[in-house]
Amino acid sequence: SVLIMVSMLSVCFLLASLALRAPLSSTAPCCRNKLLLISFDGFRWDYDQDVDTPNLDAMAQDGIKATYATPPFISITSPSHFTLITGKYVENHGVIHNMWFNTTTGEKKPYYMTQFVNEWWDNGSVPIWITAQRQGLKAGSLHFPGTAATYQGEKAHLSEVEPRFYDYSNETQWRENVDKVMDWFTVQHLDFVALYFGEPDSTGHKYGPDSPQRRNMVKQVDRTVGYIRSVVDQRSLTDHLNIIITADHGMSTVHRAPVVQEITLSKIPGFSFKDLQFHIVDYGPASLLLPKEGLLDKVYNALKNAHPKLHVYKKEEMPRRLHYSKNSRILPLFLYADPGYVINGLIPVQFNNGEHGFDNDAMDMKTIFRAVGPDFKKNLEVEPFETVHVYALMCHLLRIQPEPNDGSLEVTRNILQTKTNEESACSSISICFGVLTQVFIGLTAAAGFLVVVFVIITVHTVHKRRKSQHRSKKNGLDEKCPKTKQSRF
């Protein structure tokens, strides 16, 4: 029994130490608003300038509009979206391409199938929905690139991946997805959701960024923005939900022969695909090459200066501003073309009228940033910034500690509302409540400890007293009944 009591005493010590060492939360739920991140894939920064967009305009009046936002390089879907939700440049988060590939086997997987290659995404960085959940929040993701993966054994609390052959342009489906996300906020009580729409990217690719089809799709996007805000109001979320709308890249019109001299690698003197162990070409304006052993310089010299619109770099010589070299997945030679040009392999097999993946300094690659909600200022247009900084902003809005990242909250701090007296009071109350809770837990543990000590002392005292009484009785009996030797008969 004494051993059990000592064990209980040890447990109490442990509880007390844990209570006293537990971190204080500086923000209670009353000070945190919900957050919805929306991406409209391929929405170029100026798409609202040749189309009437009353809902996007109203959102700008009620909140924030950046002149434009600069995506990371390489300006394609998966790498750019993963930058949004990790706050890291592409070379640091490791999702370097839309396609998973294996240079040993030569295997490649297209965009959709790559969503399910777990190790492509789970390579050291975690998206914001995992960070939020680790700090006590509930998060979800619908169709956002990276949703299908598991990160260090964890997934979003609620998630949905689009079917393989999904119609990204179906407006009815868009509204159903919006309704689903609003249910996640109001019924499932999620704190954060990432929501992805695959347009106007698909339309921009097929018809080109200057086409009437693209303009019609932007009108659909605008109607959807209006629908989102109306449902937010109907669900009484207007004062409790921050909304960020952005995208992964812009779009550029593709130039073709005979108007221009196209880039076709097989026609370049001195270059041969036989000198390559592995390659990714015929994928817009960017290509990755792995020359066979000992042939790196030969391939490089053949391609360098081979076309006035083609840029050829050894991996270690990539411009630092692109942040696209310091990763083992990036192959030794990287090629990219100027806006309007794509890189063909053997023959031209790319027929898109619009493309992206160009230098992120090109204006055609710039995208949008809009924000509205209780934590944002109103009717403010701000200078351009890089989308790598959106992650730090989102962590601040959710009141969570960010993972190490390449962004900075200081870049976007000027778009945030200054604290009102009510918010300051709420924050103070939250801190005080947190402190009092910690003190209460500590005192409870200490009280439990004292109770156990009291019980141990009491039991020990009673045990000694009984033992003493038992001795006394035994001595008295011995005195009354002295031992005698029995006689034999």
Catalytic residue (one of 53, 70, 77, 131): 77
Beta carbons of 137 and 408 less than 8 angstroms apart: no
Going by their DSSP bridges, the two strands 34-40 and 241-246 should be labelled as parallel
394: Cβ contacts below 8 Å, ≥ 6 apart: 35, 37, 128, 192, 244
Q: What is the dihedral of CA 173, 177, 182, 188, to 10 degrees?
A: 130
d(CA 395, CA 86): 10
Q: Please give the structure tokens belonging to residue 298.
A: 């030969």
Which tokens sit at 439?
């003190």
Distance, CA of 28 to CA of 426 (rounded, Å) = 8
Distance CA 20, CA 482 (A): 63
Tokens of 109: 């997987």
**In the annotation, is 77 catalytic?**
yes
Q: Which residues pair with 218 in a beta bridge?
A: none
Q: Which residues of 11-34 are buried (b: 16+ CB within 10 A; e: fewer)?
A: ebeebbeebeeeeebeebeebbbb
Q: Which active-site residues does the annotation give? A: 77
